[in-house]
């Protein structure tokens, strides 16, 4: 049985015995209530620390302890913590997992608490509230949102005499530029053909008129002609020597190769602004279009563990994390695009030498990341199976045939 199936069962059934357990039944030595805050991005630590400091100025009786876990281990750790009653009181949640955690009663519904305290969900884009609404209950307060941009190295472009990318670029222009920018003598690749869904092959599939999951939620579209064509286009950069291979990007992350001037262009999100802004040669443009414009949109939220012993303190903290004051901290530091309405302009000005508006422009033609009860299981199938095509061990047609069969079987259990 796949790990994600085990997770669903443990979330739905294994927690029944946790009534007497606590994720944080702690009081610090100075008498303060202590709650824990779980998240995965170390680049956001400075902003988070500043937000906690502001929160403590208004709530001196609550101490917040942070728990940083790398994304690769984050949900695996949550699975173990959930069955052992050791979840952080407040934690990050992403859209593709919220249905699973909500139906497993691992996180608390927030609608009644919000109504009681006159906390308005209208302060955030409706699409983000909808993303965290399960069976008419809101489970998360939006923290940020992101689209994808085409990051590029101006120095490499200038040396190759290639004009910078703009909103007229399409797939042909991207391939043409990557060919001119690739310089094997200098060890420079024109483009990084990442094997990632958000900011990768999902965008290409949508741009080519394809779909990931059908509207009725009963089937995937990976084996459809539009998806196959998009995947082949993506992988062709590797086949043509314009991109590092899958093995090379596994050994050294594409983001590191890009930051060090070994890759001229790559798709990436606004979460990389704190890192990429360190290199003055880097900038960002809107992603090229295919048959149509399309880019993934997603956003994180803050949720409360169902088994917290400090529900009131956790709710106070979640409200503050969703406040305009907290959003402005994220905005001014350029960390992420804050979800609180009206604070995005400050984010745009946070790093004036970068064209951050490219990410905001993408909202107009964005497509939400798919979210079903077993999204995580399907994502794991994508990773395990598509890497065979990315490493050129298997044809795209054979890979998507296997992927479609397993993903559809997963969907049939919903």
Task: Say whether pLDDT at 45 is over 90.
Answer: yes
Q: CA-based angle 61:121:334, to the nearest 5? A: 75
Supply the Cα-derived Rg of the chain in whole angstroms. Answer: 22
Query: What span, in angstroms and rounded, lies between the C-alpha atoms of 324 and 322?
Result: 7
- Which residues, 6 or more positions from 135, have their beta carbon under 8 angstroms from its beta carbon? 102
Residue 27: per-residue pLDDT: 55
Residue 28: per-residue pLDDT: 53
Using CA atoms, how far residue 64 sits from 21, 24, 168, 403, in Å, is 20, 11, 47, 42
Contacts from 6-12 at CB under 8 Å and sequence distance 24+? 7/79, 7/100, 7/376, 8/100, 8/104, 8/373, 8/374, 8/377, 10/79, 10/82, 10/83, 10/104, 11/79, 11/82, 11/100, 11/101, 11/103, 11/104, 11/105, 11/106, 12/103, 12/104, 12/105
Residue 83: per-residue pLDDT: 82
- The token duo for 130 is 């909808």
Task: Say whether pLDDT at 13 is over 70.
Answer: no
Residue 335: per-residue pLDDT: 80
- Residues 387-412: tens digit of each pLDDT: 999 999 999 999 999 999 999 999 99
Task: Say whether pLDDT at 43 is over 50.
Answer: yes
Average pLDDT of span 327-339: 90
pTM over 0.75: yes
What CATH homologous superfamily does 149-297+369-412 map to? Answer: Periplasmic binding protein-like II (3.40.190.10)
What is the location of CATH 3.40.190.10 in the chain? 3-145+298-342, 149-297+369-412
Q: Are 143 and 299 in contact (CB under 8 A)?
A: yes
pLDDT above 90 as % of the chain: 75
- Which residues, 6 or more positions from 233, have their beta carbon under 8 angstroms from its beta carbon? 171, 204, 208
Q: How far apart are the first and last CA of the chain?
A: 16
- Residues 191-249: tens digit of each pLDDT: 999 999 999 999 999 999 999 999 888 999 999 999 999 999 999 999 999 999 999 99
For residue 144, with 0-12 CB atoms within 10 Å meaning exposed, 13-18 middle and 19 or more buried, which class applies? Answer: buried
Q: Are 284 and 155 in contact (CB under 8 A)?
A: no
Please report which residue ranges of 278-413 form alpha helices under DSSP H. 311-321, 324-333, 344-348, 357-361, 375-390, 396-412
Task: Say whether pLDDT at 360 is over 60.
Answer: yes
Residue 26: per-residue pLDDT: 56
For residue 365, with 0-12 CB atoms within 10 Å meaning exposed, 13-18 middle and 19 or more buried, which class applies? Answer: middle
- Residues 150-184: tens digit of each pLDDT: 999 999 999 999 999 999 999 999 999 999 999 99
Task: Say whether pLDDT at 3 is over 60.
Answer: no
- Residue 117: enclosing H or E segment and its boundaries? none
For residue 212, with 0-12 CB atoms within 10 Å meaning exposed, 13-18 middle and 19 or more buried, which class applies? Answer: buried
Task: Say whether pLDDT at 7 is over 80.
Answer: no
Residue 8: per-residue pLDDT: 44
- Residues 126-148: tens digit of each pLDDT: 878 888 998 899 999 999 999 99
Per CATH, the number for 3-145+298-342 is: 3.40.190.10
Averaged pLDDT of the chain: 90
Task: Say whether pLDDT at 298 is over 80.
Answer: yes
Strands, E assignment, 82-165: 90-94, 133-134, 137-138, 141-142, 144-145, 149-153
Residue 166: per-residue pLDDT: 97
Task: Say whether pLDDT at 386 is over 80.
Answer: yes
């Amino acid at each position: 049985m796949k790990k994600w199936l085990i997770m669903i069962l443990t979330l739905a059934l294994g927690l029944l015995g946790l009534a007497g357990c606590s994720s944080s039944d702690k009081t610090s030595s100075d008498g303060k209530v202590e709650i824990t805050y779980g998240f995965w991005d170390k680049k956001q630590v400075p902003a988070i620390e500043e937000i906690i400091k502001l929160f403590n100025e208004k709530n001196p009786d609550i101490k917040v302890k942070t728990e940083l876990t790398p994304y690769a281990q984050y949900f695996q750790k949550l699975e173990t913590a959930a069955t052992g009653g050791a979840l952080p009181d407040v934690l990050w949640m992403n859209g593709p997992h919220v249905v699973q955690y909500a139906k497993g009663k691992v996180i608390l519904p927030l609608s009644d608490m919000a109504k009681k305290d006159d906390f308005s969900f209208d302060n955030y884009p409706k699409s983000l509230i909808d993303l965290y609404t399960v069976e008419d209950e809101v489970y998360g307060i939006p923290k940020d949102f992101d689209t994808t941009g085409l990051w590029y190295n101006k120095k490499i472009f200038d040396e190759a005499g290639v004009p910078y990318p703009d909103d007229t670029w399409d797939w042909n222009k991207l391939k043409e530029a990557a060919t001119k920018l690739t310089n094997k003598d200098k060890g420079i690749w024109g483009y990084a053909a990442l094997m990632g869904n958000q900011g990768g092959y999902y965008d290409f599939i949508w741009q080519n008129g394809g779909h990931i999951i059908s509207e009725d939620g009963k089937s995937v579209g990976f084996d459809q002609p539009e998806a196959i064509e998009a995947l082949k286009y993506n992988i062709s950069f590797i086949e043509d020597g314009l991109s590092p291979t899958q093995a090379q990007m596994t050994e050294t992350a594409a983001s590191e190769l890009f930051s060090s001037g070994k890759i001229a262009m790559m798709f990436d999100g606004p979460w990389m602004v704190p890192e990429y802004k360190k290199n003055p040669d880097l900038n960002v443009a809107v992603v090229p279009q295919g048959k149509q414009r399309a880019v993934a949109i997603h956003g994180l939220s803050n949720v409360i563990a169902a088994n917290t012993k400090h529900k009131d303190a956790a709710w106070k903290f979640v409200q503050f994390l969703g406040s305009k004051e907290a959003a402005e901290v994220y905005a001014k530091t350029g960390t992420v695009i804050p979800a609180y309405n009206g604070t995005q302009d400050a984010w745009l000005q946070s790093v004036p030498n970068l064209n951050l508006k490219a990410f905001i422009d993408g909202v107009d033609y964005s497509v939400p990341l798919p979210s079903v009860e077993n999204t995580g299981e399907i994502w794991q199938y994508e990773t395990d199976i598509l890497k065979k095509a990315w490493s050129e061990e298997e044809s795209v047609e054979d890979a998507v045939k296997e992927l479609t069969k397993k993903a559809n079987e997963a969907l049939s259990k919903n």
